[in-house]
Amino acid sequence: MLLVLDIGNTNIAIGVFGGDSEGGDGGLAGHWRFSSLGRTGDEAGLLLENLLNSHDFDKGLIDGAILCSVVPSLEEVWRDAVSRYVGRQPLIVAHDIDLGMRIDIDHPGEVGADRLANAVAASEKFGGPLVAVDLGTAINLDVVSADGAYIGGAIAPGLAVSMETLFSRTAKLPQVALRAPERVIGRNTINAVQSGIVYGYAGLVDALVERMFAELGTRTPVIATGGHAEVLAEHSRTITNIEPWLTLDGLRIIYRRCAGRDA
């Protein structure tokens, strides 16, 4: 089995793929998502053990692990936890390992590991060209060219970040659930905020994607992932597919490509 970890600013996603160590091709057998709140290596290790036990996974059968992170301090914690409590040294995703994808941008070392994992997974499933949209703490739009290269993208603040900023700086606005109201023209404050966030961000994604189409010279599949993918996809003109666990699948594919090599 293969253990995969996606360490983000707000959430951590962990998955277990069945199958052999050549990439866990037996499918996603278990997955969890929880807060990235600070933990020690021991706390993270015990959490891992509890998660595996909750699905009756024998950690002794985990013969590979891979981790991507955009938070350096958490990367060290979880690398230590996997090494000591699962007994596997995780492969760390970076631009200079064998991704099976050429990175054609100005500074390859600057691109987030999660963005690379998304591009790899989307490209394997849909081919190129394409746009992958990760709707999490930040909104990442990543573009794969017709010849399968990662060629960059765009980054914008995520929905939750914008809502937190709005509420913290406007004393009279109530906190609201993140869902689309029936009408864009809100007839009360709650609906007005929901309209601005949901329809506004759907428009932001569509505007960026349409400009990317123009630069690519063609329309492409647009694959959405992340915690807010389903909320926005329903109101987007450009999103064509939702893949909730795209990043975890990208980690599986990268591990498979690196297996047996000095990665």
Domain boundary among 92, 116, 137: 92
Are 5 and 14 within 8 A, CB to CB? yes
The reply to whether 159 and 72 lie within a common domain is no
Domain boundary among 32, 66, 92: 92
The reply to whether 132 and 234 lie within a common domain is yes
The reply to whether 142 and 226 lie within a common domain is yes
- Spell out where the chain has E strands: 2-7, 11-18, 27-35, 64-69, 91-92, 130-135, 138-144, 150-157, 222-225, 241-242
What mean pLDDT is predicted for residues 184-199?
92
Confidence (pTM): 0.89
Domain around 140: 127-244
Question: Do the domain assignments include residue 254?
Answer: no
The sign of the dihedral angle between the CA atoms of 13, 153, 168, 234 is negative
The reply to whether 131 and 240 lie within a common domain is yes
DSSP 184-230: SS-SSHHHHHHIIIIIHHHHHHHHHHHHHHHHHTS---EEEESTTHH
Tell me what percent of the residues of the chain surpass a pLDDT of 90: 72
The reply to whether 131 and 205 lie within a common domain is yes
Question: Do the domain assignments include residue 120?
Answer: no
pLDDT at residue number 186: 94
The reply to whether 10 and 84 lie within a common domain is yes
**Beta bridge mates, 154:** 141
The reply to whether 48 and 157 lie within a common domain is no
The reply to whether 138 and 239 lie within a common domain is yes
Question: Do the domain assignments include residue 136?
Answer: yes
The reply to whether 80 and 136 lie within a common domain is no
What mean pLDDT is predicted for residues 200-223?
98
Higher pLDDT, 98 or 117: 117
The reply to whether 74 and 131 lie within a common domain is no
Of the pLDDT bands very low, low, confident and very high (cuts 50, 70, 90), residue 259 is confident
Of the pLDDT bands very low, low, confident and very high (cuts 50, 70, 90), residue 121 is very high
Overall number of domains in the chain: 2
Question: Do the domain assignments include residue 19?
Answer: yes
Question: Do the domain assignments include residue 21?
Answer: yes
Mean pLDDT of the chain: 90
pLDDT at residue number 175: 67
Rounded to the nearest 10 degrees, how much is the dihedral formed by the CA atoms of 243, 225, 245, 214?
Answer: 60
Question: Do the domain assignments include residue 114?
Answer: no
Residues annotated as catalytic (active site), given as ranges: 114
Q: Kindly report the CATH number assigned to the domain that includes residue 220.
A: 3.30.420.40
pLDDT at residue number 18: 87
Of the pLDDT bands very low, low, confident and very high (cuts 50, 70, 90), residue 179 is confident
- Helix-helix angle 246-258:113-126, to 10 degrees: 90
Q: What are the pLDDT digits (tens) for 156-174? A: 998 877 777 776 667 666 6
Domain boundary among 74, 92, 110: 92
Question: Do the domain assignments include residue 111?
Answer: no
How far is the C-alpha of 46 from the C-alpha of 239, rounded, in Å?
A: 38
Of the pLDDT bands very low, low, confident and very high (cuts 50, 70, 90), residue 262 is very low
The reply to whether 227 and 138 lie within a common domain is yes
Question: Do the domain assignments include residue 97?
Answer: no
The reply to whether 238 and 188 lie within a common domain is yes
